[in-house]
Amino acid sequence: MEQQLTIKVFLLNLERSINGYSFFLDIIDHLIMSFKQNFVLSNKITLASLNTIHLNENKNLFFVTAQKSINQINPINLQKVNSFTFSNAIASLSINKSEYIITLSNQQILKGDVENGFKPLDKSRIQSYCTLSNDNFIVTSLRNQTDIYNLQDLKIVKRNIDPNFNANISAFSVDGKYLATGSLDSTCKIWNVDKGFELINTIQGHTNLVNSVAFSADEKCVATGSSDNTCKIWNVDKGFELINTIQGHTYPIYSVAFSAYGKYFATGSFDTTCKIWNVDKRFELINTIEGHTYPIYSVAFSADGKYLTTGSWDNTCKIWNDNMFGEMIGLKTENDIAKINCFDDIINKNNTNNLVEIIKSEKPFAQLYEL
């Protein structure tokens, strides 16, 4: 990076001496100095590619997953606090209030934490390719069969609720009352958790695959993003009737997310853009975020709604802010960004050489420098 800056400054000085564009070049010099001031801290966490980042608000620690390990990171100085390494690759991770649910590539499920270790769940009773969980239940997917277990005693609650279940396109409502499962048949199924995961509605209206599902924080709406290039908003209190059909993307929508206080709604698309919509104004388009070079596969807001992160197949994760000041954290992975989870005011981005970086911003709803 220093070499790049040196080259830029050399060229600017050379151009200044030849053409005398002093005003224009002073602006460029100011931008370079601003960049130097915004860069705060970086640290290499692991030699392996970084897959997902979570922030546990109860412990105020980052949990960075690499291929086979979970690393606890201090968000103040980015030093590794603790780590745990598994014998197989990590397939999925769910963080609940009290413990973490890990699914490995050999279909083994474990629960526990980094400090005290992880205990494998009885593989003769439960195993999965990927899992979705909340504080009470764990949903497993294995060989086209989806089963739901009580997380505490592993008693089966319901078997084979949806053969098309995919943990990455399903979601529990915030209060845990509903489970929404996106499906390959272009529908979204709604299950009543309190009634033993009774199927209460099959949402229809999309003409292609449902790729993403999200509940609003106030639990009044559920959104479905689809390969038909639209996102539909459904009213939970009125039997999941259609409220709005969001249009504007030119390719499939892969990820949807509500901000915590219901002000914004985001859609990430194969067209490499992320669109921000105003929920209070019937999902009026606010902004179209551009900057990725490949499809956006994941979007997520921070818990305070001030930041939005977009993960892409271009192997980067970009952070966008909606206030006049803030911090950004940056990472880059060698692989596609499949999923991002945000749990507090500090969220994540991907950058070079598996570095975690903190960068300050003064731009409203603008991406900061990508190194």
Domain ranges in the chain are 1-41
Name every residue whose Cβ is closer than 8 Å to that of residue 143 and which is 6 or more positions away in sequence. none
Contact between 193 and 179 (Cβ < 8 Å): yes
Q: Which single residue is written with the structure tokens 């991002």?
A: 340
Listed as own residue / partner, the contacts of 194-203 with beta carbons closer than 8 Å and 24 or more positions apart are 196/157, 196/158, 197/148, 197/157, 197/158, 197/161, 199/161, 201/239, 201/240, 203/232, 203/234, 203/240
Q: What was the pLDDT predicted at 60? A: 60
Contact between 75 and 62 (Cβ < 8 Å): yes
Taking the CA atoms of residue 121, residue 126, residue 127 and residue 130 in that order, the dihedral angle to the nearest 10 degrees is -90
Cα dist from 45 to 50, 217, 262, 314, whole Å: 9, 33, 34, 21
Q: What was the pLDDT predicted at 343? A: 36
Structure tokens at 36: 């130097």
Of all residues in the chain, what percent are helix, strand and coil, respectively (each to 5)? Answer: 10, 45, 45
Whose CA is closest to 190, among 204, 176, 180, 175? 180
Cα dist from 181 to 75, 171, 255, 281, 350, whole Å: 34, 7, 14, 27, 29
Beta bridge partners of 179: 172, 191
- From CA 254, how far away is CA 342, in angstroms rounded? 17
Q: Which single residue is written with the structure tokens 């993960």?
A: 311
Whose CA is closest to 176, among 151, 154, 159? 151
* CB-facing half-sphere around the CA of 310: CA atoms within 13 A: 32
Q: What was the pLDDT predicted at 5? A: 36
Q: What was the pLDDT predicted at 305? A: 76
DSSP 45: -
Q: Enumerate helices (H) and strands (E) in the chain, giving the number of each.
A: 2, 30
> What string of pLDDT tens digits covers the 371 residues of the chain?
433 333 333 333 433 333 444 444 444 444 444 434 333 344 555 666 556 666 565 666 667 777 888 888 775 566 778 889 999 999 888 877 667 899 999 999 999 988 889 999 999 999 998 888 888 999 998 887 889 999 889 999 999 887 777 777 789 998 999 999 987 789 999 999 999 999 999 999 999 999 999 999 999 999 999 999 999 999 999 999 999 999 999 999 999 999 888 889 999 999 999 999 999 999 999 999 888 888 988 888 877 777 787 877 776 667 787 743 233 444 444 444 445 454 333 333 333 344 444 434 344 344 433 32
Secondary structure (H, E, C), 90-106: EEEEEECCCCEEEEECC
User: What size, in residues, is the chain?
Assistant: 371
Angle, alpha carbons 43-310-101 (nearest 5°) = 70
Q: What was the pLDDT predicted at 338? A: 46
- DSSP element (H, E) containing 26: helix 22-38
Name every residue whose Cβ is closer than 8 Å to that of residue 220 and which is 6 or more positions away in sequence. 235, 236, 237
Listed as own residue / partner, the contacts of 81-86 with beta carbons closer than 8 Å and 24 or more positions apart are 82/114, 82/115, 83/114, 84/114, 84/117, 84/118, 86/110, 86/118
